[in-house]
A and B are shown apart, each in its own frame.
Chain A
Amino acid sequence: QSVLTQPPSVSAAPGQKVTISCSGSSSNIGKNSVSWYQQVPGTAPKLLIYENNKRPSGIPDRFSGSRSGTSATLGITGLQTGDEADYYCGTWDSSLSAWEFGGGTKLTVL
């Protein structure tokens, strides 16, 4: 069972907006920055968001991140079929002295 909790799946229609939540605790999200990853099956995770809300070069501004208290949220607007993937949140847990990932959320674009 993951230290960070994500919904197993979300879905929305093309062009719509979706949010994915990541719930943690005071020792992880409450204390450290969150990053988000996109993983297409059969490939390595790809960094989408770092330090809660920053996008690496090449990531479109359709992807956004936020953090409040012990939770974080990934938002995706203007959904495209190519956005179908698994999404993971991650952060350092200061109590465990370990990097932790959420269980992942499968995004389906209907």
Chain B
Amino acid sequence: QVQLQQSGPGLVKPSQILSLTCVISGDSVSSKSASWNWIRQSPSRGLEWLGRTYYRSKWYNDYAVSVKSRIAINPDTSKNQFSLQLNSVTPEDTAVYYCARSSGFPDVWGKGTTVTVSS
């Protein structure tokens, strides 16, 4: 049974970096049949896919256009986890952030981390 455990700060100051980690159990970040995604949800933007990382003989990333200039999603094979880094945050980035596995569609989700951007 695949489980995803999220961690990271719930409060980030404007212009700083939002960093979250998602630890995988029951699967491998290096799986050749899955991708590892970050998705956020806010009342104003609904569910918004941010991006993914996946391994197919080498590592690939895809990012949403809305955040492409300031996002990085990185795997850590030694810890079987992946991370989200979102730079230069503003109050618009306040949301619940979810990590999720995709096997062609997001099928396993973390419990979510509420992140507030405020000074």
Contact = CB atoms under 8 A, between A and B. Distances in A.
B46 A101 contact: yes
B116 to A, nearest CB: 16
A2 B49 contact: no
B46 A44 contact: no
B49 A44 contact: no
Contacts, number: 52
B76 to A, nearest CB: 22
A101 B112 CA distance: 17
Interface residues of B, number: 20
A96 B66 CA distance: 11
A96 B105 CA distance: 16
Interface in A32-76: 33, 35, 37, 43-47, 50-51, 56
24 contacts: A33-B104, A37-B106, A45-B47, A45-B98, A46-B109, A47-B106, A50-B104, A50-B107, A56-B107, A88-B47, A90-B106, A91-B105, A97-B62, A98-B62, A98-B64, A99-B37, A99-B102, A99-B106, A100-B49, A101-B47, A101-B48, A101-B49, A103-B46, A104-B46
Given A44-B109, A50-B105, 4 more contacts: A44-B110, A44-B111, A47-B107, A104-B46
The 4 lowest CB-CB distance pairs between A and B, nearest first, are A101-B47, A35-B105, A99-B49, A44-B109
Interface of A: 2, 33, 35, 37, 43-47, 50-51, 56, 88, 90-91, 96-101, 103-104
